[in-house]
Homo-oligomer: A and B are copies of this chain.
Amino acid sequence: MEFISEQRLDDGVREREFTLGEIPGILWTPPSVTAPVPLILLGHPGGLPMMYPRLVARAQHCAAEGFAAASIELPGGGNRPRFLAVEEARADLRRALQAGERVDDEIVDRLVLPLVDKAVPEWRATLDALLALPEIGGPVGYSGGIIAIGVRLAVVEPRIRAALLFAGSFVPRSMFEEARQVSIPLQVLLQWDDEGNDRQLALDLFDAFGSREKALHANMGGHTGIPHYAGEGANRFFIRHLK
């Protein structure tokens, strides 16, 4: 892990860009860190430069409660080399949506599974590197989308102790079996009128999770309309489980 830039944000939060091999990422830590702090991994749909304004707001929210936060670019996202198999599937998905067709399970599999298979080991390698820093102590939470990445991480990565998952993207049917294996506390956010998301599938997925503690928070509005107070709810969820 190599730090390539450093700045202080208005509220004193320390922001450092890094690379881990070919993967670009950003680490945010609270203004002053006297003991190792818990860490929240911020998931997103890919495109770190475009997602930056929303990510930095979430990171500052985390830092205000004493959490570090970090995010990395998705395979094929932003300035990373194109991920051709996924791009083809994304084009097929777009065609199906524009034609008003039901999205075929096969397209969802081709779109999401390769991304999960590649992104999850990258998140885990990032976790190794971040937890080696003296200022980061764990425990670790995962927050955001892509939900299938959060599900796989929750199953395979024991250092992740709680996850806030955003049910705003397609989920391969095969992930339901993985969902049943999840046992950490979960909070699932659902935008009730999300235009690109199948509400019933999201409810079924919530039902499938094996976690004893899981909560579904559904709010009105479309994909990007998550109300600001849902962010406060997210912080309280992580405070309960990571502190």
The 8 A CB mask of A191-211 against B (1 = contact, 0 = none) is 010000000000100110001
Q: Are A218 and B220 in contact (CB under 8 A)?
A: no
Q: Which residue of B lies closest to A211 (CB)?
A: B220
Set of chain B residues within 8 Å of A49, measured between Cβ atoms: none
CA distance A219 to B206 in the complex (A): 11
Known contacts A233-B233, A236-B229: A217-B215 contact under CB 8 Å: yes
Q: Which residue of B lies closest to A213 (CB)?
A: B220
Cβ-based interface call for A216 (8 A): yes
Oligomer: number of copies: 2
Q: Are B219 and A218 in contact (CB under 8 A)?
A: no
CA distance A155 to B1 in the complex (A): 58
Set of chain B residues within 8 Å of A213, measured between Cβ atoms: 220, 227
Do most interface residues of chain A lie in helix, strand or loop, or is the interface mixed? mixed
Cβ-based interface call for A87 (8 A): no
Q: Which residue of B lies closest to A237 (CB)?
A: B229
CA distance A52 to B229 in the complex (A): 31
Of B203, B220, B233, which contacts A203 at CB under 8 A?
A: B203
Q: Are A214 and B206 in contact (CB under 8 A)?
A: no
Given contact pairs A215-B227, A216-B216, enumerate 12 new A-B contacts (beta carbons under 8 Å).
A192-B207, A192-B216, A211-B220, A212-B220, A214-B220, A215-B217, A215-B218, A216-B217, A217-B218, A218-B218, A232-B236, A233-B233
24 contacts between A and B (CB under 8 A): A192-B207, A192-B216, A203-B203, A206-B218, A211-B220, A212-B220, A213-B220, A213-B227, A214-B219, A214-B220, A215-B217, A215-B218, A215-B219, A215-B220, A215-B227, A216-B216, A216-B217, A217-B217, A217-B218, A218-B218, A229-B236, A229-B240, A232-B236, A233-B233
Which A residues are within 8 Å of any B CB, using their own CB?
A: 192, 203, 206-207, 211-220, 227, 229, 232-233, 236, 240
